[in-house]
Amino acid sequence: MKYIFLAASLLFATGGNAAMKTENVEYKDGGTVLEGYMAYDGAVNTPRPAVMIVHQWKGLGEYEKMRARQLADSGYIAFAIDVYGKGVRPKGMPEAGKISSSYKENRPLFRQREQAALEFLKKNPLVDQNKIVIMGYCFGGTGALELGRSGAPLAGIVSFHGGLSNPTPADAKNIKAKSLILHGAIDPNVKPEEVFAFQKEMNDAKVDYQFVSYSGAVHSFTEKAAGNDISKGAAYNEAADRRSWAALMDFLAEVAPIK
């Protein structure tokens, strides 16, 4: 498999880090070209922990890139991955629903796309291969769990307002990593029975996990672009956003600390 870095590196200041480096990168899953985004501190030349970010249903965009820069500013190599393929970016909700559903209905392909990203990341000499965490938002939260269920050697798994359904519950036994689930307590897109089934499969598999529910929060509670109307089932919640990010950083300090 051939991997290609795009020569699109940029230096810019963010959070006071003038050595921040970002780049679009191309990699492949078989014959499918994928285009991700990396952010890291270019002044550090030794291996360090890395975090993979799986995008929401509209594909890799500015939101995930912003989160990647936040993580890089904290010392991590951040890799916002591409599940859909280079140039495949839904233009509206109907198309996003159709494309995202095709992966939810084909979990092996979902895992395969993430595995390709993981293998690409592991080839980077700046990455500590024993400290790779995967996280994701909404569709990406489901994806983060799916890579864990495949048995991938991860240090941690984090889902932000992600779907929790699992057509093969027994696969939870393959999860090797500690897991953090950050959930909107009144999310109408993830029914209570789905939450119960998820917790049961994790308990039965004896996975080391934390499940945090944020009161008053619905789907997409970390995304300002979702607006503030919770009656729509997806809305931003400032407190849940702030608290969930703090929970993420505490979790990373435990499973993949920066030294």
216-250: pLDDT as tens digits: 999 999 999 999 999 999 999 999 999 999 999 99
The position carrying tokens 């051939």 is: 2
CA 144-147-149 angle, to 5 degrees, is 110
Total of domains in the chain? 1
State which residues form the domain around 168: 4-255
142-198: pLDDT as tens digits: 999 999 999 999 999 999 999 999 999 999 999 999 999 999 999 999 999 999 999
What Å distances lie between residue 235 and 60, 131, 155, 163, CA to CA? 19, 32, 30, 16
Domain of 26, CATH number, reads 3.40.50.1820
